[in-house]
């Protein structure tokens, strides 16, 4: 795998060589935020206090604070509600949520990158198998 970085404060470009094909993907800095950091950024950008967002989610503000700090995990339903509260793309927020779930499960594993490659293949295989039924 080859990764190249473009010199730019706000974004970088990664080039991966997979099965002989060069894949290029642009990431901006928001893709490097954890789901908690992204929630905090959304809340602060809208100048909403913790208590108001927590009330919308029907949770205590201390729980929302812990979610923002990464000390507690949000539920899938909470992520969907947050997308609605801030009028952001639900799919993008869910992708960040799911990527964090994978990240925290594998972060201390020496073989994480290899496991992710195999998992990606399995996802494609099982998805195709389900769709063929």
CATH assignment of the domain containing 49:
1.10.260.40
Contact by Cβ (8 Å): 27, 14: yes
Instruction: Mark whether 26 and 48 lie in a shared domain.
Output: no
Distance of CA 125 to the CA centre of its chain: 23
In a domain, 128, yes or no: no
Instruction: Mark whether 17 and 44 lie in a shared domain.
Output: no
For the chain, 133 residues long, give each residue's pLDDT as a single digit of tens.
Answer: 444 333 333 334 443 333 444 434 444 555 689 999 999 999 999 999 999 999 999 999 999 999 999 999 999 999 999 999 999 999 999 999 999 999 888 889 999 999 999 999 999 999 998 898 7
Instruction: Mark whether 41 and 28 lie in a shared domain.
Output: no
Instruction: Mark whether 97 and 37 lie in a shared domain.
Output: yes
Handedness of CA 30, 33, 35, 40 (dihedral sign): negative
Total domain count for the chain? 2
Instruction: Mark whether 61 and 88 lie in a shared domain.
Output: yes
Instruction: Note the pLDDT of residue 29.
Output: 55
Instruction: Note the pLDDT of residue 19.
Output: 40
Instruction: Note the pLDDT of residue 10.
Output: 35
């Amino acid at each position: 795998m080859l990764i190249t970085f473009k010199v730019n404060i706000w974004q970088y470009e990664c080039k991966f060589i997979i099965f002989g094909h060069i894949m290029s993907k642009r990431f901006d800095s928001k893709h490097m935020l954890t789901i908690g950091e992204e929630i905090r950024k959304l809340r602060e950008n809208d100048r909403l206090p913790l208590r108001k967002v927590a009330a919308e989610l029907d949770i205590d503000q201390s729980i929302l604070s812990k979610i923002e700090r990464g000390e507690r995990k949000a539920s899938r339903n909470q992520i969907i509600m947050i997308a609605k509260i801030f009028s952001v793309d639900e799919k993008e927020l869910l992708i960040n949520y799911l990527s964090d779930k994978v990240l925290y499960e594998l972060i201390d594993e020496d073989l994480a990158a290899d496991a992710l490659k195999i998992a990606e293949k399995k996802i494609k295989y099982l998805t195709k198998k389900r769709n063929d039924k």
